[in-house]
Amino acid sequence: MMLGVIATHFLTVIIFILLLSVLVLIHEFGHFFVAKRLGIKVEEFGFGFPPRAFGKKIGETIYSINYLPFGGFVKLYGEDEAGAGRITLPGKTKSADTNLNKAFFSRPTWQKALVVVAGVIMNYLLAVVIFSYLAQAQGIATEGNSIIVAQVEKNSPAQDAGIKIGDKIIKVNDQNMANISQLISFTKSHEGQEISVTIQRNNTLQVINLTPRTKVGKNQGAMGVALSPDVKIIKYSGLSAIKKGISQTFELVSLTLTGLKVAIAQALHLQFPQGVAGPFGIVRLTGVAQQYGPFAVLTLAGALSLTLAIFNIFPIPALDGGRLFFILLDGVLYLVFRKKLSSKIEGYINPIAFAILIGLILLISYHDIVSWASGQPLLPQ
């Protein structure tokens, strides 16, 4: 039993590392691809993080495999850790000028900005690809036009009238019921009055008369039934699957931004944001997804890829959004005042911001571990 639990947790960690590596590697590939297309020299494209286990130079780029298997990195020529590198040229020679032309910092603002946002775009596109595939392979759960009776209370008006589990409620008093909320509101407004309920049972329509009760106990309804939506799985193909993948991605972006607003509001009130997870929390989510199979793991991968894209584009120093902010600010200053932004400013701000981010990650990780140990739910109930 113990060996089985250990093996399950070990597999969860392996899946988590693979997911993280793929997401970060796809992100870095975006930087790499655009830089190459623009003629910017890429000094190294690494899988994992140093120390290096193996490296091979092809052309002007070293392709390396590193010992820490957490994603990857791209090292651009003429870019320091602050993202605004400078090169000391050996002399005014033709080869030196050629190297300068391949440097990241020497490129126009639009090219530098495109290289920076390419990683975010790749993570977004990966989410679209995953959700498009799921729309085709697994299908999307869609509510139908009827309501399912999931449970019938004893001695309730529904039981007395002969309503059974599995019946589909189509109409009430010849009115179509679009959703469960509408049905509940209708029955509440007709308490003590006889109503006619049109149901579908075994592909046959029946009309049943009943009177919703006026005295309702706690967690009980006027009819005495528990209801669930009529969920249908619809599979899409071709262009329809892609459109569905795009729409699902936009919906998830909206939900993520809404959740972020709530988390920020909670943090401002000195409350720990609910639904925020660090590395350990994501490992737990991976374990839950693993139990439901490959489609659930893919869904998690799509959600994480999109979260990585959204978080990275915010103008926070040490992230892509922060780098983009400084690049655009530098471009505006040069356009208006013919002055370049000092690289020292970004060089001072980025390490501080990076230290704050690490501190937040450690704080969230501590909360994840405490929640894990105490058996608290992953998400707010």
Active site residues: 28
Strands (E), the chain: 42-58, 61-76, 140-152, 168-172, 175-176, 195-201, 204-210, 225-234
CA 325 – CA 327 distance, rounded (Å): 5
What element of type H or E holds 279? helix 279-292
343, two tokens: 């690289």
How far, in whole angstroms, is CA 12 from its chain's centroid?
A: 19
Return the bridge partners of 210, or none: 195
With beta carbons less than 8 A apart as the criterion, state whether 179 and 143 touch: yes
Q: Which of 372, 376, 377 is nearest to 9 (CA)?
A: 372
With beta carbons less than 8 A apart as the criterion, state whether 14 and 55 touch: no
Helix axes 238-268, 109-137, angle to 10 degrees: 110
Neighbour tally for 194: CB within 10 Å: 11
With beta carbons less than 8 A apart as the criterion, state whether 229 and 144 touch: yes
